[in-house]
């Protein structure tokens, strides 16, 4: 299959997902509490088989799910994505016991997963994290420090936690741990954010972990984090594309109906050209997301560069498209509860999380120069 086209079955599946999101997931999401984990919504995602599919399919499938759900229900998209982000390290690096205990519950929506990487002093510079894993003298560690901006915190049932086991070693001294939420010394609090996602901070007061809690190998946790992000960065782009498409669809409908200046808005060249630009950028971002996902599924050598490009282009594009849609709708789009008011709050965060746009530019440049140096040898 070409990276730049979808087959009939994929197209039909995406249409089915949009229908499910509109008819079954959006009503559930509407009854949820903003800023809190929506367990009934997660349970429905589990019943529909979408959470299990997070671990049974590739990056392109993940992107198609996130894009399709985002067009009709961003809350459902986010709930699904956060389960995948928190659960993927267990799926990819967990021991048989870890996988057996947690993955079935993640897949049916009964256990909430979270990915705990960012810290108050280590956001974009993930290698600078300082949560300390200090040896306890009995073959285990005690985790001391804080995490911040953690999705699903403090309500998750377990956390994939990245802690420093070797001081001064940068990215090479980080270990990934699977930490159940009921461990003594682990507390947290919610944070009120611009978008209504469940996000909070975590405090670790000598939280005990053992060798049985390690994901992957000691001091190799940064690879666990980056491998997870390389998978999910293109799908963040897919989320953004879904939001952009929803904003574009709303704008086409509005400008084709709205009467102004003795005609419809669509008859004004200034308006129609803006709508064309919105469509152009959205489709370009979509194609780059699909290409990056296909590269991941093919285990291509340039996945980090493609993933960074896809996230960067798609999230910046979605910001432009949603902002332009608000402008063309006028004051009605600023009213609380309007689709575009909702998207306007949703679209800002993806330019920051899982690597800010500036970080993505740095990754792209590094990959380009590294490739050029290899060719010059």
Residues assigned a catalytic role: 354
Which CB contacts under 8 angstroms, 24+ apart, belong to 301-304?
302/367, 302/371, 303/230, 304/226, 304/230, 304/363, 304/367
Residue with token string 């809350």:
75
Q: Is the dihedral of CA 357, 363, 365, 368 positive or negative?
A: negative
Q: Give the count of beta carbons closer than 10 Å to the beta carbon of residue 22.
A: 15
What residues pair up with 107 in beta bridges, in sequence order?
Answer: none
In angstroms, the CA 76 to CA 248 distance is 20
Contact predicate 192/35, CB 8 Å: yes
Record the tokens describing residue 169, joined without a space. Answer: 């070693």
Which residue, among 186, 193, 182, has the nearest Cα to 163 in the 3D structure? Answer: 186
Which residue, among 206, 94, 80, has the nearest Cα to 141 in the 3D structure? Answer: 206
C-alpha triplet 192, 197, 203: angle, nearest 5°: 60
Record the tokens describing residue 339, joined without a space. Answer: 């689709």
Burial class (CB in 10 A: 0-12, 13-18, 19+), 117: buried
Q: How many CA atoms lie within 13 A of 332 on its CB side?
A: 8
């Amino acid at each position: 299959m070409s990276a730049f086209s979808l087959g009939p079955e994929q197209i039909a599946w995406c249409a089915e997902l949009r229908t499910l999101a509109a008819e079954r997931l959006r009503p559930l999401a509407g009854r949820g509490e903003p800023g809190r984990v929506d367990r009934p919504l997660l349970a429905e995602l589990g019943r529909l088989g979408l959470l299990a599919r997070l671990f049974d399919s590739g990056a392109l499938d993940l992107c198609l799910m996130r894009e399709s759900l985002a067009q009709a229900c961003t809350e459902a998209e986010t709930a699904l994505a956060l389960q995948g982000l928190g659960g993927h390290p267990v799926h990819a690096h967990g021991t048989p016991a870890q996988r057996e205990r947690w993955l079935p519950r993640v897949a049916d929506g009964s256990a909430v997963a979270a990915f705990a990487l960012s810290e108050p002093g280590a956001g974009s510079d993930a290698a600078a994290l300082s949560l300390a894993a200090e040896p306890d003298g009995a073959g285990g560690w005690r985790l001391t420090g804080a995490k911040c901006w953690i999705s699903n915190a403090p309500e998750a049932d377990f956390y994939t936690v990245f802690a420093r086991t070797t001081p001064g070693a940068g990215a090479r001294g980080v270990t990934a741990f699977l930490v159940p939420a009921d461990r003594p010394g682990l507390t947290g609090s919610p944070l009120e954010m611009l978008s209504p996602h469940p996000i909070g901070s975590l405090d670790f007061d000598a939280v005990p972990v053992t060798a049985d809690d390690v994901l992957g190998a000691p001091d190799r946790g940064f690879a666990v984090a980056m491998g997870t992000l390389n998978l999910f960065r293109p799908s963040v782009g897919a989320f953004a594309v879904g939001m952009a498409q929803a904003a574009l669809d709303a704008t086409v409908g509005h400008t084709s109906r709205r009467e102004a200046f003795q005609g419809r808005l669509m008859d004004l060249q200034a308006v129609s050209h803006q709508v064309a630009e919105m469509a152009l950028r959205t489709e370009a971002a979509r194609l780059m997301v699909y290409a990056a996902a296909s590269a991941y599924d093919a285990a291509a050598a340039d996945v980090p560069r493609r993933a960074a490009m896809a996230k960067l282009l798609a999230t910046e594009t979605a910001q432009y498209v949603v902002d332009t849609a608000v402008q063309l709708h006028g004051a009605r789009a600023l009213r609380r509860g309007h689709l575009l008011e909702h998207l306007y709050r949703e679209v800002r965060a993806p330019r920051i999380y899982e690597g800010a746009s500036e970080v993505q530019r740095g990754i792209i440049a590094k990959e380009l120069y590294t490739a050029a140096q290899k060719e010059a040898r």
